[in-house]
A = this chain, B = another copy of it.
Amino acid sequence: MKLKARILGLEAEKPIVIVNKEDAEDIDVRPLDRVELILGKKKGSAIVNVATHFIKPGEIGLYGEIAEHMEAMHNDEIEVIPSAPPESLIHIREKLSGKTLSNDAISKIIEDTVHRRLSEIEMTAFVTALYNHGMTTGEVAALSRSMALTGKILDLGKKEIYDKHSIGGVPGDKTSMLLVPIVGAAGLTIPKTSSRAITSPAGTADRFECLAPVDLSLEEIKGVVRKINCCLVWGGAVDLAPADDLFIKIEYPLSIDPLLLPSVMSKKKAVGAKYLVIDIPTGEGTKVKTTKDAESLAEDFIALGKKLGIITVGASTFGEQPIGNAIGPSLEAREALSIMMKGKGPADMIDKVTHIAGILLDFRMGNGGKKEALRLIKNGKSYKKLKEIIEAQGGNPRVKPEDLKIGPEKVEVKSGVSGMVGWIDNQSIVEISRAAGTPKDKGSGIYLRKKVGDSVKKGDTLFEIYAEKNYKLERALKIAKSVRVMGVGKKHEMLLEKIPRKIDHPKYFILER
């Protein structure tokens, strides 16, 4: 059937066409069926939406992407033929029924995902099928490989690539930003790609962007790493394992994360990592609640690493309160820069980064890595490397912590009682911080004046909230007043929670990679 093109000013990220109900019945297609489009020598495949008024009989509405692909103009006559769904849909249905998928089936699904050939319903069916039925290590390995191969590959022509990853979930975690200069100063090659925040106050890319550009091209990254053997860039700019971003769009509204392992490992595969440490923040208020769960997850990563040729070590780290004192891109960049310049800083931050960096150094040295990492902080070599990174990526290496803008809006939250800080609620910290403007407003966030174990006197400032805009500060303060951020009490107070809780967080899900 021939239909007249109407070019719609709509973005879909998918090849979507809209036809009138009448015509859909004549062509014998239903919503979300596929059609083949022919216009002169151009051919294309699209997913059908059906309208009763918006598109008139005899017309076909084309979303931006497919209109561009077909080089279609207003009123072009397009031939529309029903076509079979992509083969990958058959495999999605197989997984939905609990079948184990072959490598070939998995690569077909990932290809169709990346080329936007699957509807939201079909992608959701795949993600929930993975969630419900789980995956064999073979399937996870095939997913990791396919997700890597459908994106760009960073080929440095070197065999000894080191890498680090945190599965996230703790606010204020500046480990990567400190670890890369340390490991780089030790002479190891570490081309670190990081993500921006999804549900957290800041991702490593958001933090480091306060010191230097992070959206480098693949060629620029190669240049930087060849010159100074490390980098701190945003992975999203270079299209590594692009399927992951598309899966996140499905996982986020459902608060499920079945693709964690292939998501992480596909990116490590794409940069050619040979040695890898996985940081698993553990405890109340993080993704992984117990060390037992952390062990089990680490074992999954190790087994998957074996299949992919990546020697992997897991590290379960204490995650029940923010790391260091600063939360929010600029505040965290300040804290990290200060640690590197002075060779000292918050004890938990220093202990964590030297532990994790030490594991990477041990791959080379056998042992003593943690000590060496601390030495590289204290002797200024890490700071020197940090400046090299900043300069190589196009930033100002002479930047000082106080050059980084924070605020200007600020409020101090004080304690109404005296005692000891018994706990800090990560979830509340994240909510307040995001309400204050993170990660978008780089100068917004929270600075903790007290941490767990600290003594507090009535009237002491517990934490400060920073914002760029007044209405966001108000918004953040409103949340700060309605939730319990810190527990200040006597040293041996034993009650953790009264159930049911008075205040509940209707949606809180950590989706960071």
Contact = CB atoms under 8 A, between A and B. Distances in A.
Interface of A: 1, 9-11, 25-26, 28, 30-33, 51-54, 84-85, 89, 92-93, 96, 98, 119-122, 124-125, 128-129, 131-133, 198, 249-250, 252-256, 434-435, 437, 440, 471-472, 506-507
A26 B26 CA distance: 46
A84 B506 contact: yes
A128 B253 contact: no
A196 B96 CA distance: 28
Contacts of A1: 471
B254 A96 contact: yes
B119 A253 contact: yes
A121 B253 contact: yes
A32 B124 contact: no
A435 B28 contact: yes
A314 to B, nearest CB: 25
Nearest to A475: B28
- Rank and list the top 8 A-B pairs by shortest CB-CB distance, nearest first: A84-B506, A124-B124, A25-B440, A132-B132, A32-B253, A128-B128, A121-B124, A120-B120
Contacts of A11: 51-54
27 contacts: A10-B54, A11-B52, A25-B440, A26-B437, A26-B440, A28-B435, A30-B252, A32-B253, A33-B253, A84-B506, A84-B507, A85-B253, A89-B253, A93-B255, A96-B256, A98-B132, A120-B124, A121-B121, A121-B250, A121-B253, A121-B254, A122-B253, A122-B254, A125-B128, A128-B129, A129-B132, A132-B132
B506 A31 contact: no
A322 B374 CA distance: 80
A254 B128 contact: no
A124 B124 CA distance: 6
A249 B434 contact: no
A255 B124 CA distance: 14
Contacts of A93: 254-256
